[in-house]
């Protein structure tokens, strides 16, 4: 029997480290060199066109056709100067990855010649025949037209000789079929409301936008080993594999020296990212062996989301050259940490203020506390939606497994702010806050910053933690499109600030001073949102029971969590702020459930195939060897010695036989359960059937296969083992 494992293992030995193609320039000299950014536009556009684009970017104004022609022609000239031959609209359909359809810059002429051509019309709109993208029934295939439309707020870029133009993707009837549309709409909604709220504190604020700094975790595995594991190839995770004697127990990988093979990969990744304007800044080893993280400097959320999608693409592309495969699955290996994508979130103003940065004076801190408390209230009132925003089959394996936050959403704010909020809660009026003298440190608000920055980031177990000048949403899955948690946060915060504005204005109307009105509403919100605050160990069992007492949800599985998207309340919030209509929410909900079902279906099939066609034949082969051996012993030994000496072999034969029988039975059961589940019409019921009746066999089958791995001769085992995959050679 061919054993690909050994061929693969041999390939990993002495892999030469590919030469990193360094531009031999300072980073600043090539940063953004492949981006049609502001400075390129200044160079290539007329003054008029440039200011129109800037207005579109900053104020969302429409761009006239005449100007788009000019922009298209500038883009073409710039891109052709860099060897570009094709252009594509680049969008984020609901598959979760990015989509492209390339067209050449050509227009045939008479006489068999052609000229390069790219008009404004092709820049602003395209109609890909995109009938195979998930649409949740919004767009039936006979009416397959959907169109992509240019998003001028995210700059075009060049990748592999192709000009990529970030676009939204909507159905012909106007429903969004992507992640970017609701994100942009949520940013507009948030801006409209938040700018008004900011005006309570500073009349000069005209624009408020969310900022996002993601931290991306991933695993690297040698390409040859990856290819010898059909489960990794088809599902992104290992369905079998006994744990390695040593993995992460010694915490010797976390922040350790980066292996030179991994480092060369990272350097090349950074160079490619920097050329595309992705401001990667941080790289380090993560907890599990061969697990890593990279993080950029934060950006405006729409750009940051595009950059994260781009980075996930680059990870894969650069890895190929370095004979690695990047695993973005949330739980590629059982028994060691999985991967997440922390989303650092804040709000910024056009006056250059980070609204979650505690100010240097009482006035600024009043503004800071107002925003902070509104976020607490928004998460409190919509905790189920926040949970739903990160739900996926992969993330189910990570949440609540003592390595990532639980499925319960709570907010950590740290001791200092807790104390401040507690004191505000007890204060009869705002005057008490101002007249408080320096004895009272926690209310001497200007003193917060220094203490704060040192004291916050302590609690690593919280899913949503305030970390000094931003919130860190830590429950996002590593493979997720971050637009989703972002548009959910933006929308619930929009709704909350909208309510806040109404509440404050009402009190002002009743004769209260503005600051008193703000104070009183804030105080009420602090009390009302108290249940969402948790400073303790979120991984503990006590928290689970405490959270249940508080009435917080604990949806352990994606199908249960996803329900929140179609609740009456969600439909109201999303439609009120014009982010997603009821039809769109229903469609998305269905797509998500379908995806969940398909992922489990694929995993079950892969497991069945590996078990029956790879593992059992190996087990039987080894079993036969042991049987031959026992027979031989019987021939050469006297019967007394035989009974004594063959005991171990006979026991092993029996053990192997038991595991073989169990695997066979369980695979038959899983097939039967899948068939039953497939007959269920209702998509939610079907997803739950997959969850309850199919996934239960995953662990059982795995248990027996992993036991077989321990019993069978290493020479025969067909799949690369954990100890071989987890350590980079």
Cβ–Cβ < 8 Å for 156, 274? no
**What are the structure tokens assigned to 608, written together?**
């069945």
Q: Minimum distance from CB of 297 to ligand ADP (Å)?
A: 5
Regarding 469 and contact with ligand ADP (CB under 6 A), the answer is yes
Q: Count the residues in the chain.
A: 729
Regarding 346 and contact with ligand ADP (CB under 6 A), the answer is yes
Q: Which of 91, 201, 298, 464 binds ligand ADP (CB under 6 A)?
A: 298
Nearer to ligand ADP, 458 or 501 (CB): 458
Q: Which residue has the tokens 């100067």?
A: 81
Q: Which of 470, 533, 614, 721 binds ligand ADP (CB under 6 A)?
A: 470
**What are the structure tokens assigned to 327, written together?**
């695993």
Give the count of beta carbons closer than 10 Å to the beta carbon of residue 438: 8
Of 265-273, 331-339, 340-348, 702-710: span binding ligand ADP (CB under 6 A): 340-348
Cβ–Cβ < 8 Å for 697, 668? no
**Three-state secondary structure along 162-191?**
EEEEEEEEEECCCCECECHHHHHHHHHHHH
Regarding 211 and contact with ligand ADP (CB under 6 A), the answer is yes
Regarding 344 and contact with ligand ADP (CB under 6 A), the answer is yes
Q: Minimum distance from CB of 346 to ligand ADP (Å)?
A: 4
Nearer to ligand ADP, 248 or 344 (CB): 344
Regarding 212 and contact with ligand ADP (CB under 6 A), the answer is yes
End-to-end alpha carbon distance in the chain:
26
Query: Which of 407, 409, 412 lies closest to 383, judged by CA?
Result: 409
CA distance 247 to 251: 9
Restricting to residues 447-466, name those near ligand ADP by CB under 6 A: 457
Q: Minimum distance from CB of 400 to ligand ADP (Å)?
A: 22
Strands 324-327 and 208-222: antiparallel
Question: Cα 300–310–39 angle (5° rounding)?
Answer: 55
Q: Which residue has the CB atom at the shortest distance from ligand ADP?
A: 213
Nearer to ligand ADP, 212 or 266 (CB): 212
The DSSP code sequence of 282-336 is: EEEE-SSTTEEEEEE--EEHHHHHHHHHHHHHHHHHHHHHTTEEEE--S-SSTTS
Of 72-80, 294-302, 659-667, 710-718: span binding ligand ADP (CB under 6 A): 294-302
Nearer to ligand ADP, 104 or 297 (CB): 297
How many chain residues touch ligand ADP (CB under 6 A)?
A: 16
Residues in Cβ contact with 635 at an 8 Å cutoff, skipping those fewer than 6 apart: none
Of 291-299, 434-442, 559-567, 693-701: span binding ligand ADP (CB under 6 A): 291-299
Q: Minimum distance from CB of 343 to ligand ADP (Å)?
A: 8
Q: Which of 109, 233, 297, 548 binds ligand ADP (CB under 6 A)?
A: 297
Q: Which of 269, 295, 424, 580 binds ligand ADP (CB under 6 A)?
A: 295
Beta-bridged to residue 162, according to DSSP, are: 86, 159
Q: Give kind and range of the element (H or E) at residue 90.
A: strand 86-91
Q: Which residue has the tokens 């504005």?
A: 501
CA distance 475 to 561: 13
Restricting to residues 541-560, name those near ligand ADP by CB under 6 A: none
Q: Minimum distance from CB of 210 to ligand ADP (Å)?
A: 8
Regarding 238 and contact with ligand ADP (CB under 6 A), the answer is no
Beta-bridged to residue 465, according to DSSP, are: 412, 472
Q: Minimum distance from CB of 332 to ligand ADP (Å)?
A: 22
Q: What residues make contact with ligand ADP under the rule CB under 6 A?
A: 211-213, 215, 295-298, 344-346, 354, 457, 467, 469-470
């Amino acid at each position: 029997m061919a054993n690909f494992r050994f061929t693969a293992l041999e390939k990993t030995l002495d892999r030469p480290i590919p030469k990193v193609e360094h531009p031999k320039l300072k980073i600043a000299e090539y940063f953004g060199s492949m981006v049609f950014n502001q400075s390129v536009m200044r160079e290539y556009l007329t003054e008029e066109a440039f200011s129109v684009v800037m207005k579109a970017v900053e104020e969302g104004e429409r761009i006239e056709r005449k100007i788009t022609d000019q922009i298209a022609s500038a883009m073409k000239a710039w891109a052709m100067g860099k060897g570009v031959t094709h252009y594509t609209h680049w969008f984020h359909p609901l598959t979760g990855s990015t989509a492209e359809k390339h067209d050449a810059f050509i227009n045939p002429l008479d006489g068999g010649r052609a000229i390069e051509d790219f008009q404004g019309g092709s820049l602003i709109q395209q109609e890909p025949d995109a009938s195979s993208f998930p649409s949740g029934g919004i767009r039936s295939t006979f009416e397959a037209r959907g169109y992509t439309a240019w998003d001028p707020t995210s700059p075009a870029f060049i990748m592999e000789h192709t000009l990529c133009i970030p676009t939204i993707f909507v159905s012909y009837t106007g429903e969004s079929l992507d992640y970017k549309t609701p994100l942009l709409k949520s940013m507009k909604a948030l801006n409209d409301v938040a700018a008004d709220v900011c005006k309570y504190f500073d009349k000069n604020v005209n624009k408020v936008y969310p900022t996002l700094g993601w931290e991306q975790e991933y695993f690297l595995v040698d390409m040859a080993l990856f290819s010898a594991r059909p489960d990794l190839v088809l599902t992104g995770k290992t369905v079998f594999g006994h744990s390695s004697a040593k993995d992460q127990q010694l915490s010797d990988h976390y922040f350790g020296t980066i292996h030179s093979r991994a480092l060369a990969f990272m350097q090349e990744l950074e160079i490619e990212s920097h050329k595309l304007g992705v401001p990667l800044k941080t790289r380090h080893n993560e907890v599990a062996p061969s697990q890593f993280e990279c993080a950029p400097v934060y950006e405006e959320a729409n750009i940051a989301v595009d950059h994260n999608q781009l980075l996930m693409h680059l990870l894969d592309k650069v890895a190929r050259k370095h004979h690695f495969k990047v695993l973005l699955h949330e739980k590629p290996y059982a028994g060691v940490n999985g991967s997440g994508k922390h989303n650092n979130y804040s709000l910024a103003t056009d006056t250059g203020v980070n609204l979650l940065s505690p100010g240097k004076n009482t006035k600024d801190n009043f503004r800071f506390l107002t925003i902070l408390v509104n976020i607490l209230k928004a998460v409190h009132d919509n905790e189920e939606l926040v949970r739903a925003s990160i739900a996926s089959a992969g993330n189910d394996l990570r949440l609540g497994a003592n390595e990532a936050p639980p499925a319960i959403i709570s907010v950590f704010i740290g001791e200092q702010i807790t104390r401040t909020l507690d004191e505000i809660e007890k204060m009869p009026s705002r005057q008490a806050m101002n007249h408080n003298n320096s004895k009272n440190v926690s209310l001497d608000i200007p003193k917060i910053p220094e203490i704060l920055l040192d004291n916050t980031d302590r609690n690593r177990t919280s899913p949503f933690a305030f970390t000094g000048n931003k919130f860190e949403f830590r429950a996002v899955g590593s493979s997720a499109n971050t637009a989703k948690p972002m548009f959910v946060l933006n929308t619930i915060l929009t709704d909350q600030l909208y309510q806040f504005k109404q509440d404050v204005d009402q009190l002002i109307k009743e004769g209260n001073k503005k600051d008193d009105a703000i104070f009183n509403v804030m105080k009420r919100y602090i009390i009302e949102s108290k249940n969402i605050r948790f400073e303790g160990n979120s991984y503990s069992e006590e928290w689970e029971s405490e959270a249940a007492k508080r009435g917080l949800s604990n949806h352990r599985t994606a199908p249960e969590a996803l329900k929140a998207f179609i609740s009456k309340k969600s439909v109201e919030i999303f439609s009120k702020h014009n982010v997603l209509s009821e039809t769109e929410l229903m469609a998305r909900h269905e797509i998500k459930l379908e995806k969940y079902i398909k992922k489990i279906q694929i995993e079950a099939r892969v497991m069945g195939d590996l078990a029956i066609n790879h593992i059992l034949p190996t087990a039987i082969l080894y079993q036969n060897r042991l049987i031959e051996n026992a027979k031989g012993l019987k021939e050469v030994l006297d019967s007394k010695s035989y009974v004594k000496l063959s005991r171990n072999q006979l026991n092993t034969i029996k053990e192997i036989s038991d595991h073989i029988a169990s695997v066979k039975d369980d695979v038959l059961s899983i097939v039967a359960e899948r068939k039953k589940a497939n007959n269920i019409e209702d998509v939610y019921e079907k997803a739950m059937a997959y969850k309850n009746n199919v996934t239960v066999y995953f662990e059982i089958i795995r248990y027996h296969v992993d036991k077989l791995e321990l019993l069978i001769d290493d020479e025969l085992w067909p799949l690369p083992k954990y100890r071989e995959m987890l350590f980079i050679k």
